[in-house]
Structure formats: C-alpha cells, structure tokens
Amino acid sequence: MTKVSLVKCSSYQPHEVRVAVKRSLDLLGGISAFVKPGQKVLLKPNLLSYHHPDKAVTTHPAFLEAVLELVKSAGGVPVVGDSPIGSARHIEEYWKVTGFQEVCRRQGAELVAFEKSGVYKKNLNGRNYHIARPVLDAEVMINLPKLKSHSLTLLTCAVKNMYGAVPGLKKSMYHREAPLPMEFSKLLLDIYTLARPQLNIIDAVIGMDGNGPSAGDPKPIGMIMAGADGVAIDCLAAHLMGMDPLKVPTNLLARKINLGETQLENIERLGDAIEVRNDFQWPSTWAYSLIPSFLARHMAKLFWIRPAIDPAKCVNCGACVESCPTSAISSGEPTPVFNYKLCINCLCCQEICPQQAVHPRRSLIAKMVR
C-alpha cells in the first residue's frame, strides 16, 4: 500500500518542528531512505510571493530549516530553489522577507533562482515544457509545499507546488494556453511527472483556507504530512480538510490516467490519528473548478468569476500589471484597470498581490451555484 505519514505539530517553535518533521520521515524509513551521502538534494518550498511567514502564504522557514538539517545529517548536499511569479527582478527580496535567506545562511545551503539557471526542454503528452535545470540536475528532489486552498485548482499541495519548477515567464505562457481549471490541471500533472519529486513533506502546521493561495486566511491545522506519492498526499489532504478528493481537478485527472494513488482505502496512514475537519473554508470559486472545459467555454457569458481590486487595500505597486500573462491589467489611478476581454481568469494577480487586494468577483449565476 502507498504510505503517508501524519504527525501532529501545533506550532513553528523550532524544537517542535524538528521533532515532528523527523518523526514524519522516521515513519517512512528515515531520511536515509531518501538521501544518500554526497547526493545533491534540491528542496523546493512554496515561495509564492513576497509575504512574511506569519501570513501563511509560503512554506515556513522553521519547517525548511528542519528539513535542511535532516538532509545534512544524511550526508546530502542541499540546495533550495523556486520560481515565484513576478520575482525575476526581485528574488533576493522574496528570500529575505520569507525568512529563507537567513535559514540558508545558517545552514550553509545555496539558494538558487530558477530564472537564472537555464532550462531543459521536455515533451510529455504532446506538449513542450521548460523545466528549470536545478530541478532535473538534482539527484534527489524534495517537495516542501504549504497546504492551502486555491481559487483556480481548489487545492494547492504536492502536485500544484511543482508548478514552480517552470521558470519565469513560461508560467504565464502556460496559463494562457490552459486558462480553465481542468486544462490547467492536466498541465500541472505533466509538470509534476517531469519534476519527479522523490519525497513530499507538507507544511500543514498553519495552512490557508478561503480564497487562497495568497488572499485567504491563515488556518491552524496542526500537522505535517510526508510520503513519496504526491497524488496520494493531495487526496488524503483534501479528505482531511472535509472535501471529496475527486472534486480537486488534479486528483480526478490523476485517477483517469492512473498517476499515483487516488483511492483512500489504498493509502496506509502512519503516525497520528488526524480527524476530518468540517471548518475548512474552500474558495468562493470552488464550483468553477468542477465544470468541464467544453461547458465552461459555452457558459462563459453567464457563469464567470473575475478578479477585482479592493481600492481600500491596493497600494498601486504594479505587481499585478507585471504578472498578468495576457496583459489584461494596465496601470491606472487609483488602482490598476482590468480589460476583461483579455482576462483569462487565471487569478495570477490574486496570487501575486502582496496586499491581498485582489479578490474574485462572481456573476449572478456563479453566486447562485455557490
């Protein structure tokens, strides 16, 4: 059976996190089951955007440090890298604000910017992908997601976190090519397959619910998950947060193509007993992710979910303008302006906004479905 460990962890106090992370891996055979002496190990956290750790948008630095220590104890050579949207010119600021820079300095780990590292071109299922060189050059890939809701894909956890393996503007291009949830989820599964993480360790100490992945609310969950099968982890995570796992598009499509384990009865849970929650708030857009692509296109005039800006929160920093994959946002006063004829509703602007000023606005019919 596919094994997933579940370990309770109530805070980011360094000692508690170290103990919990180590136990989550000991239940799977220990870090030495995944990392051998001398191996180059890439740690891929969620470095979504420019937010302090307390906002629960990014993988917590205490969590990252605990994994770095274990990798080093096994004799591995750790490297930390990611490619957040809009970071090409400001990546050092992202590292500093999220706490990653200080952690890597203490642990002697290199921080790599995927935008500056080159790519390998790979083809899968008839589509060409650009994968950052550090991802495929690593002998071991460890995926370190944050468990959060997601306004487009419903859940962001193990599979979705691998989207960061695509550097820079290529992510925007893929959003243009696959704007609908089901289309985009197929793409995510391809990238997850190409990035081939050998180990996934989930920061679910404090996750995010509501309109995640950046505009939601920090949600104390109090657990760490770990396992080799990211699809199984995503299915179990959705279940534990009170959602049918197959309502998450990536999980549903993974079952159809037989990628990973999607049946809960075939997942062996190791460690602590974690009860299913009934208080996890899913995005206001969640019903949109379930609509098949061919129907979504025909219903677009009546059933739509669009980004909008709260002028009380917006500081007109221009991050959304820079990150929009279709140039649907232009500079304006007092806030940027949307051209909805160009907007593909990918909600990248919501993800990147450091002020949480972008929120989804729904048509009347979309509100009725909700």
Residue with tokens 């470095």: 47
Q: Residue 300: pLDDT band by 50, 70, 90 thresholds?
A: low
Instruction: Tell me: pLDDT of 298 over 60.
Output: no
The encoded tokens of residue 286 equal 């969640």
Q: Residue 365: pLDDT band by 50, 70, 90 thresholds?
A: low
Q: Residue 367: pLDDT band by 50, 70, 90 thresholds?
A: low
What is the second-level CATH architecture of the domain 286-369? 2-Layer Sandwich (3.30)
The secondary structure of the chain in percent helix, strand, coil, rounded to multiples of 5, reads 40, 25, 40
Q: Residue 349: pLDDT band by 50, 70, 90 thresholds?
A: confident
Cα separation, 316 vs 22, in Å, equals 43
Residue 165 contacts residue 224 (beta carbons within 8 Å): no
Cα separation, 87 vs 226, in Å, equals 28
Identify the CA nearest to 160 among candidates 220, 212, 101, 221: 212
**The dihedral sign for the CA sequence 95, 97, 100, 104:** positive
Give mean pLDDT, residues 266-276: 99
DSSP string for residues in 313-360: T----SHHHHH-TT--EE--SSS-EE-TTT-----HHHHH-TT--EEE
DSSP string for residues in 54-81: GGSSS--HHHHHHHHHHHHHTT-EEEEE
Count Cα neighbours of 50 within 13 Å in the Cβ-side half-sphere.
18
Count Cα neighbours of 97 within 13 Å in the Cβ-side half-sphere.
18
DSSP string for residues in 205-265: EEEEESSTTTSSEEEEEEEEEEES-HHHHHHHHHHHTTS-GGGSHHHHHHHHTT-S---GG
Amino acid identity for residue 224 in this structure? I
Q: In whole numbers, what is the pLDDT of the chain averaged over residues?
A: 92
CATH number of the domain at 2-271, please?
3.40.50.11440
pLDDT 10s digits, 74-98: 999 999 999 987 655 678 899 999 9
Decide which of 42 and 92 is more confident.
42
Residue 286 contacts residue 154 (beta carbons within 8 Å): yes
Cα separation, 221 vs 219, in Å, equals 6
Neighbouring C-beta atoms of residue 119, cutoff 10 Å? 19
Domain(s) of CATH 3.30.70.20: residues in the chain: 286-369
Decide which of 80 and 294 is more confident.
80
Domain(s) of CATH 3.40.50.11440: residues in the chain: 2-271
Q: Residue 180: pLDDT band by 50, 70, 90 thresholds?
A: confident
Instruction: Tell me: pLDDT of 189 over 60.
Output: yes
